[in-house]
Structure 1
Amino acid sequence: MSVTVAVVYTYGDNADLLNETRPAHREYLRGLADSGHLLVAGAWVPGEPAGGLLIFRAADKDAVHGLVADDPYVLAGVVTKSQVHEWAPPLGPLAGAFTEQAD
């Protein structure tokens, strides 16, 4: 059984650190996507507060806390706050894909 977990990142204001760390961050997320843990991720668009949204599939919420802790953005201090929430959307054309329980 697995759960879907939404993670909201808030970035600090150090643009140089963000840009320097971005390649390692993206490589890390690419590996999580390839392994099936990361379903989708992206930064907020310009004009929004600096940060992003990541949607994970994992055994439980604690597993996602571990994945977030190893993100190069988190390790380098780019992420100043992360919110981790189990998520089960009931509506919309993709809702079933996110709430489907996998073994």
Structure 2
Amino acid sequence: MIYTYTDDTDTRMQARPKHRDYLAALPELVVAGAWSPSEPAGGLLIFRAADKSAVQKILDADPYAEAGVIANVEIREWVPPLGPAAAAITQE
């Protein structure tokens, strides 16, 4: 999932602790993080989920969504075929 945030940084920072706590408690979460400060505000989140609708449900309950600080979301299915982390990421 790729998030792009709104320009409402104050609201996002207020919601950030709840957002992080929410993500940390998700068993489906593989890794998540914000883009570097030199990039547009947003982040990348990788989940193990049955399908895109399962990821959409995760998004819908995210405190960032509830706070209205997500401007755009892209949910994409990804299967990493190569690299030293591929097996660890795709294991079930």
TM-score (norm 2): 0.93
1:72 equivalent in structure 2: 63
Q: Which residue of 1 aligns with 2:10?
A: 16
For the pair 1:58 / 2:73, whether they are aligned, the reply is no
Aligned-CA RMSD value:
1.0
Count of residues in Structure 1 that have an aligned counterpart in Structure 2: 92
1:43-82: per-residue Cα shift (whole Å, max 9, x none)? Answer: 0111101000000011222111100111010111111111
Q: C-alpha distance in 2, partners of 1:98/1:31? A: 18
Structure 2 unpaired stretches of 5+: none
Give the Cα separation in 2 of the matches to 1:97 and 1:85: 19
Amino acid at match of 1:23: P
Which ranges in structure 1 are unaligned for 5 or more consecutive residues? Answer: 1-6
* Greater per-residue strand proportion: 1
The alignment-based identity, stated in percent, is 55
Runs (4+) of structure 1 exceeding 4 A deviation are none
